[in-house]
A and B are shown apart, each in its own frame.
Chain A
Amino acid sequence: MVHSSTLPGRLFRAANAFFLLALALLCLFPLVNVLAVSFSSSTAASAGMVKLWPVGFNLASYRFVLQKPEFMRALFISLERVSLGTAVNMLLTVTLAYPLAKESVKFRGRTFYVWFFVLTMLVSGGLIPWYMVIKSAGLLDSIWALILPGAVNVYNAVLLLNFFRGLPKELEEAAFVDGAGHWTILWRIFVPLSMPALATLILFTMVGHWNSWFDGMILMNTPEHYPLQSYLQTVVISHDLSLVTMSDASSLAEVSDRTMKSAQIFLAALPILCVYPFLQRFFIKGVVLGSVKE
């Protein structure tokens, strides 16, 4: 990263900066457009006149969405899901990663257990067995159906396992000598030392829970129990225009109100947008830290 002051060097940096800036803007444009549409008047939006700045600025769509019981209800279910789901996921990930991080000499069945879990990453039962297991377990239509089936994320556990292995063995041994058991070592040494990795995994898990919609739609028996993204999915989905009947047509105009859609999309993205910057500094550090073992 030496700053070269030669002409080619400066040219390269300028081109680089330009390229990256263009890339960043490219990612930003759709979001800005959605935001602009959400603040625009409905006619301007449906005529496609809104680009990056609101046309006919107003807050009507936000007022409407925030008063919409469906939206608020789904938002609370999503918040419940994220907090509950992240807690359960992290607890299980940490308690799974700890024993698996031990060497085979200390924990004989280790290889078997690692494969037992890794196998679930490679093969899965498919949609229908998945559904039937959840149904037979009596979880349908409860918030646990969204949390328990994915409670052990093997990928995250492997990440954390590698991170645990990177911690100095001497710490563990010293603790043992002082009379600490496995639980004490896990909670008082490993977990506090792994904060960067844990923050990363918390972010992964939170985003994962926040974004998933399919399970909500399939596993909930009433729309009142949908989390936010399952609800949103039904709002933004494009209608199949080849099968429209008279009663559909009269509601098409209403359904295709783009300002309303945009307001809801933006509001749904907002919580995660707020969490991201705070956890991001751990993010990069965490992923890299776990990956290399001396």
Chain B
Amino acid sequence: MNKRRNKWATAAVPGLLLLAMTTAACGGGNNGNNANAGGNGDKNASNAAANQTANNGAADAPTVDPNAKYDPPIEVTTVRYTDSSFKFKDGESLDNNAWTKAYESELGIKVKNKWVVNGEGNQYNQKINLTITSGDLPDMFMVDAKQFRDLAEAGKLEDLTALVDQYGSPLTKEMIDRGVNAKAAASYDGKLYAIPPAEDYFGGAPLLWVRADWMKKLSLPEPKTMDDFVKIAEAFTKQDPDGNGKPDTYGLAASKDVISGYPDLSGFMNGFHAYMNIWVKDASGKLVNGNVQPEMKTALAKLQELYKDGVIDKEFGIKDGGKAAELQTAGKVGMNFGAMWNPLWPLQDGVTKDPNAEWTPYPIPSVDGTPAKAQSSADFNAFWVVKKGAAHPEAIVKLFNFYNEKIVGESAEPAVYHTDNGIEVFKYALMAGGFGTPQGLLTVHKNVMDALSAGDAAKLTPEEKSYFDKIKLFQGGDRTNWGTNKVFGENGSWAVIGASYSDGGLLMKNEFFGPPTPGMTEKRAILDKLVLESFTKIILGAPIGDFDKFVENWNKLGGEQITQEVNDWYGSK
């Protein structure tokens, strides 16, 4: 008898424990929910109150002062990311810095970060996805195109159209209206649901970068046509441009990603009027995907030929951009296609290392009489939105007003809000980074050039002034500032972009800039992989006839459906 009770006891004790644990967990959960519900209730109440006062205010005095300071101060929650480029003064952080102090003292807005994640892309994305699904949204936050569409569709965002009208400063309105496509991407059903990112089609467009000292040494002509380009590439590969007696140089840089900011083979394809991964208009005015056009076949066939000739690194298929850059830094590669920022990285490393190294940017050479157009897709992927039901939805507009005013406006205070003793303070601001250049970098280049020729930097904005100073240093013989000079200075990236892509109109914009279509959400990953694999295989020597099979597969695996959706979007735009 005694023994039996013992057995029962041994069985029951852990059972009770488990029960206790699970109920405790449930209790915790419920409490959490209750707390949340309470929080929401409070917020709704205060929201209602705010609406009431707003309405009363509107009734009493129809003109609201858009820049009125909140009194008493309000609290706005948000979420942020940092990365290794964020530097802070001692004791400062994303929670406490010049911007947060100014938000509070000048606008009466206390900005509270619910969380901060280290890592801008994937990490932020994962965390914001969790935050969205767990229903714990902050008042304002940044989302990508897909999250934006989902949230707008589900009615979880505040409509900002009227708020921007009512509270937006002229500068804010200018910034939002300047990017027509960006604004369209930030709208849903004709209403503006987000502060759109800056629209910049030039920053990602490929340029051709050539080792000028090698070209001179081998007395080669400038790359005006694709034939010139091929001639230079072969000479760089076979005529020992670095003079070490070994055949260890390459004509053209490439990486396993095929296209990206560096190295970017889309520039080469553009020379054949082929456009990778973007949507272009065909003769009949319909949108088609550049990957499956016949011009792409020609471009790939030529790349295959160059690869066979040893112009491209035999191992490019396993190297990412960073790894590919090593060859170029070591002085083994003579040309690459890449974005306007390439001089800062990776070209600067090689120039620092080798005192003779010099690179010159050129527009894309063309294979025939028609000038080549550089492809560009301004990916709109950063939208600042306000949660539906936030107590003060207009705060986002006031914060954006304030940012614009302090960075580019009349009362800009660069030493406080832009760069303080080499620390980039502007990164702490909400809606900074890609949101803050109303006229774009082309204007920055022009202003810097004007200031250089006039020898007077007084009229420059703080950003422009920082480039101006570095170019001055370079002119004084400091080669570590070669990169900045090559981007903004004479014969630099923006000089070429300005002359060819802007004034010459030689830019092929991605015609599709809407949110991802249902077909894209579902099948884009597979299709992207198919494109990358097929193209890489062809460059590595697969029969060029495989391209036709690829086109067939692409259409079958969802390409046809996506093309239809993209055209529906285009028709309804």
Interface residues of A, Cβ cutoff 8 Å to B: 43, 46-49, 99, 102, 106-110, 113, 116, 127-128, 131-133, 135-138, 141, 182, 217-218, 220-224, 226, 230-231, 233-235, 237-256
Cα distance A49–B248 in the bound complex, in angstroms: 14
| A47-B330, A128-B130, A242-B259 known; A137 vs B32 contact (CB < 8 Å) | yes
Contact with A along B256-290 (1 / 0, CB 8 A): 01011110000000000000000000000000000
Find B119's partner among A49, A234, A249 (CB 8 Å cutoff): A234
Chain B residues, Cβ within 8 Å of A241: 257, 260-262, 321
Contact with A along B50-89 (1 / 0, CB 8 A): 0000000000000000000000000000000011110000
User: Is B518 part of the contact surface with A, judged by Cβ < 8 Å?
Assistant: no
User: Contact between B322 and A245 (Cβ–Cβ < 8 Å)?
Assistant: no
User: Is B291 part of the contact surface with A, judged by Cβ < 8 Å?
Assistant: no
User: Is B506 part of the contact surface with A, judged by Cβ < 8 Å?
Assistant: no
Chain A residues, Cβ within 8 Å of B18: 113, 116
User: Contact between A128 and B133 (Cβ–Cβ < 8 Å)?
Assistant: yes
Find B84's partner among A182, A224, A246, A251 (CB 8 Å cutoff): A251
User: Contact between B14 and A136 (Cβ–Cβ < 8 Å)?
Assistant: no
User: Contact between A249 and B344 (Cβ–Cβ < 8 Å)?
Assistant: yes
User: Contact between B134 and A238 (Cβ–Cβ < 8 Å)?
Assistant: no
Cα distance A106–B14 in the bound complex, in angstroms: 14
Select from chain B the residue with minimum beta-carbon distance to A109: B11
Find B25's partner among A107, A128, A137, A230 (CB 8 Å cutoff): A137
Select from chain B the residue with minimum beta-carbon distance to A135: B134
User: Contact between B25 and A246 (Cβ–Cβ < 8 Å)?
Assistant: no
User: Contact between A217 and B117 (Cβ–Cβ < 8 Å)?
Assistant: yes
The 19 listed contacts between A and B (C-beta, < 8 Å) are A43-B329, A46-B346, A46-B349, A48-B330, A113-B18, A133-B29, A138-B32, A231-B118, A234-B84, A234-B119, A240-B121, A241-B321, A243-B379, A245-B341, A246-B487, A249-B345, A253-B345, A254-B84, A255-B84
Tell me how far the C-beta of A265 lies from the nearest C-beta in chain B, rounded to whole angstroms: 15
Cα distance A221–B116 in the bound complex, in angstroms: 6
Find B257's partner among A49, A220, A242 (CB 8 Å cutoff): A242
Chain A residues, Cβ within 8 Å of B14: 99, 109, 113
Tell me how far the C-beta of A139 lies from the nearest C-beta in chain B, rounded to whole angstroms: 9
User: Contact between B260 and A240 (Cβ–Cβ < 8 Å)?
Assistant: yes
User: Contact between B260 and A137 (Cβ–Cβ < 8 Å)?
Assistant: no
Of the listed residues A138, A231, A235, A251, the one surrounded by the most CB atoms of chain B closer than 10 A to its CB is A251
Find B381's partner among A234, A243, A246 (CB 8 Å cutoff): A243
User: Is B15 part of the contact surface with A, judged by Cβ < 8 Å?
Assistant: yes
Select from chain B the residue with minimum beta-carbon distance to A100: B14
Chain B residues, Cβ within 8 Å of A108: 7-8, 10-11
User: Contact between A244 and B353 (Cβ–Cβ < 8 Å)?
Assistant: no
Contact with A along B483-504 (1 / 0, CB 8 A): 0000100000000000000000
User: Is B348 part of the contact surface with A, judged by Cβ < 8 Å?
Assistant: yes
Find B341's partner among A223, A235, A249 (CB 8 Å cutoff): A249
Interface residues of B, Cβ cutoff 8 Å to A: 7-8, 10-11, 14-15, 18, 25, 28-29, 31-33, 82-85, 93, 113-119, 121-123, 126-127, 130, 133-134, 136, 200, 203-204, 257, 259-262, 320-323, 325-327, 329-331, 339, 341, 344-346, 348-350, 352-353, 379, 381, 424, 427, 433-434, 441, 487
Find A253's partner among B28, B29, B259, B349 (CB 8 Å cutoff): B349
Cα distance A226–B203 in the bound complex, in angstroms: 34
Tell me how far the C-beta of B185 lies from the nearest C-beta in chain A, rounded to whole angstroms: 15
17 additional A-B pairs beyond A107-B10, A255-B83, beta carbons within 8 Å, are: A43-B349, A46-B326, A46-B349, A108-B7, A113-B14, A136-B28, A137-B28, A218-B126, A218-B127, A234-B118, A237-B119, A239-B322, A243-B381, A252-B344, A252-B345, A255-B84, A255-B85
Cα distance A137–B381 in the bound complex, in angstroms: 33
Chain A residues, Cβ within 8 Å of B433: 245, 247
Cα distance A46–B93 in the bound complex, in angstroms: 31
User: Contact between B352 and A43 (Cβ–Cβ < 8 Å)?
Assistant: yes
Select from chain B the residue with minimum beta-carbon distance to A248: B85
9 smallest CB-CB distances across A and B, nearest first, come from A48-B326, A249-B341, A251-B85, A136-B32, A221-B115, A47-B330, A223-B118, A252-B345, A242-B260
User: Contact between A226 and B115 (Cβ–Cβ < 8 Å)?
Assistant: no
User: Contact between B10 and A106 (Cβ–Cβ < 8 Å)?
Assistant: yes
Cα distance A97–B348 in the bound complex, in angstroms: 60
Cα distance A221–B82 in the bound complex, in angstroms: 12
Chain A residues, Cβ within 8 Å of B113: 222
Chain A residues, Cβ within 8 Å of B322: 238-239, 256
User: Contact between A217 and B33 (Cβ–Cβ < 8 Å)?
Assistant: no
Chain B residues, Cβ within 8 Å of A256: 322, 325, 345-346
Chain A residues, Cβ within 8 Å of B204: 242
| A136-B33, A217-B117, A238-B320 known; A47 vs B353 contact (CB < 8 Å) | yes
| A138-B28, A234-B119 known; A253 vs B344 contact (CB < 8 Å) | yes
Cα distance A110–B7 in the bound complex, in angstroms: 11
| A137-B28, A217-B118, A241-B260 known; A107 vs B11 contact (CB < 8 Å) | yes
Chain B residues, Cβ within 8 Å of A109: 11, 14-15
